Structure 1
Amino acid sequence: MKAMEPYLGSGEVMERYRISTRTLHRWMKNQALGFPKPFRINRRFYFKVADLDRWEASRGAVSEKQVETVKGLPIVSDVIQDYAGFVKAMVARRRELGLSCMELDLRAGMQESYANKLENWPKAYGRGIGPEIFPLWLGGLKVGIILVDLPRRPRKRRTLDASVAA
């Protein structure tokens, strides 16, 4: 038996492209645009996801399936520039993997409830990260760190007052 292809209803298509009902109908009528033809069932329109992906690709859109990579590995966070951003990215990764703090502790070989302390570092019971825990936390979430050059912000030059310089 052939697997069913995924379809999107009109509402999902409008949400995907952030368009109104009127715009969707204009796109469907405009043959020069080449928008995929829907299937109509009981006065409802359904679009094949594969057709929508092909249409996006023909228009030069980047597919959501194309993941940004560094050295062939997928990027799983935004740019991190401070400790709070690092912890936020680690929490997001843990949640993405569907792990609780206790599961992460077990997986990483950290003592019980240590991940919770790391994630809540500004609180009284929180802990900062040390050289022993750092590789365990990264390994438990199956992530690594790659440093990249960020564009430098121009420095503001200080001008010396004449009275200070004298």
Structure 2
Amino acid sequence: MNVRHGEPYIDGVEVQRRYRISVRTLRRWLKDEPLGFPQPFRINRRFLFKVSELDAWDARKGAAPEAPETAKGLPIVSEVIRTYGEFVKAMTARRAELNMTAIELDARSGMQEGYSNKLEHWQKSEHGRGMGTDTFPLWLGGLRVGIILVDLPRRPRVKRAA
């Protein structure tokens, strides 16, 4: 949280965490004038939002900003995941949220040293690896997360190869 002129501010990433939304949703909210979402100001490439304006918007909408959603009484720590790439991105974000290095994750999960780095960069290098049946529970356990399946209101879109 930043403070400017005695007023606390948070950046766009923190706003996304606060409302459990993606960057696309945040952009859509900012363009939707009838929604009345507080507008940020920009410093370099960062968007900063006044916390007081967000709190006022929450009060107007009847939302509880800091109340996390739960499933089976446990806090939800990611958005809906529809693809393997989104899964890897969520797992990488979770590791960063826990302030854990890839080597620490390897040690905690019981994976070979350097393996979680290969999992996180599965598409980006010739040494990347996709997750297998043996690795899946180790990776989840190392980050202290689980998976809950839910019915989606509509069928997920499938990207077609160009």
TM-score between the two structures when normalised by the length of structure 2: 0.61
Cα displacement (A) at 1:60:
4.3
**One-letter amino acid of the structure 1 residue matched with residue 152 of structure 2:** L
| Residue from 18, 22, 26 that aligns with 2:39 | 18
Structure 1 residues 102 and 69, CA gap change in structure 2 (3 angstroms): same
- 1:111-150 correspondence runs (5 A): 111-122=112-123, 123-150=125-152
CA distance in 2, matches of 1:104, 1:98: 10
- 1:21-60 correspondence runs (5 A): 59-60=60-61
The corresponding residue for 1:92 is 93
Give the aligned CA root-mean-square deviation in angstroms: 3.3
Structure 1 residues 116 and 62, CA gap change in structure 2 (3 angstroms): same
For the pair shown, which has the larger CA radius of gyration, 1 or 2? 1
- 1:91-110 correspondence runs (5 A): 91-110=92-111
The corresponding residue for 2:27 is none
Gaps of 5+ in 2: 16-37, 42-51, 157-162
**One-letter amino acid of the structure 2 residue matched with residue 144 of structure 1:** G
Q: Relative contact order, CA 8 A, sep 6+: which one is greater?
A: 2
CA distance in 1, matches of 2:152, 2:132: 25
Structure 1 residues 12 and 128, CA gap change in structure 2 (3 angstroms): closer
CA distance in 2, matches of 1:94, 1:153: 29
Gaps of 5+ in 1: 1-7, 21-48, 155-166
Alignment identity in percent? 56
Cα displacement (A) at 1:11:
6.6
The corresponding residue for 1:73 is 74
